[in-house]
Amino acid sequence: MGIDLKKGSKVNLMKDNVRLDKVMLGIGWDIIPGNSLDLDISVFMVGENGKLPADEYFIFYNNLKSPDNSVEHTGDNRDGEGDGDDEMILAYLSQINPSIKELIFVASIHNAEVLNHHFGMLDNAYIRIVDVDKKNEFLRFNLNKSTFGNATDMEFGRLIKSGRDWTFKATGDGTRIGLQGYVDQYV
Ligand SMILES: [Ca+2]
Ligand SMILES: [Ca+2]
């Protein structure tokens, strides 16, 4: 079990010289009976200037692989049916294009504004990050109703390059800007 972060808390998980290479981001959710809801996980790979070097460095359900083959989305899940991780992204940090300085992780509800969906409608929802080599889940956000109820999307953390290593910063800021709102920031 990883750290169960409260909204807005930040942790630096690399301070003890943990060297990450293969990282898995997983998101899981179930639907309260009678509802339907499509949660999406995405990654923005940005350079020194905080922007994508090319549109293809935005990894999401319509662009499953980064041009350097370092980050891969395993595919869209539209209903969260079943246990465990419903959507996954795999990142191989040692293979990332050297011009990339940060990976920004975002979870968002598809079409939330139109459908009037929000995180408060989810059951058993979480976001977690796993060190694949060590099989260690080092971060978990539980998207419970009391902390993220009204939000429709959130940046839940970033991997920041420092020398040859990567530092993870958990952010957990719930927002209502949609995935497009994040795209507008980083394109
Ligand atoms: Ca989805
Ligand atoms: Ca599920």
Q: Given this model, what pLDDT does residue 180 score?
A: 95
Domain that holds residue 129: 3-186
Report how far ligand 2's centroid is from the alpha carbon of 49 (Å).
37
Q: Which two tokens stand for residue 14?
A: 């690399």
Question: What is the number of structural domains in the chain?
Answer: 1
Q: Given this model, what pLDDT does residue 15 score?
A: 55
Q: Given this model, what pLDDT does residue 148 score?
A: 79
For the chain, 187 residues long, the average pLDDT of each consecutive 10-residue run is 50 61 93 85 97 97 97 96 95 95 95 92 89 86 80 91 83 90 96
CATH of residue 166's domain is 2.60.60.30
Q: Which ligand is nearest to the CA of 42?
A: 1
Report how far ligand 2's centroid is from the alpha carbon of 36 (Å).
12
Q: Given this model, what pLDDT does residue 181 score?
A: 96
Report how far ligand 1's centroid is from the alpha carbon of 41 (Å).
7
C-alpha–C-alpha distance, residues 185 and 166, integer Å? 22
Report how far ligand 1's centroid is from the alpha carbon of 39 (Å).
4
Report how far ligand 2's centroid is from the alpha carbon of 32 (Å).
11
Q: Given this model, what pLDDT does residue 12 score?
A: 60
Q: Given this model, what pLDDT does residue 9 score?
A: 55
Report how far ligand 2's centroid is from the alpha carbon of 175 (Å).
22
Q: Given this model, what pLDDT does residue 11 score?
A: 59
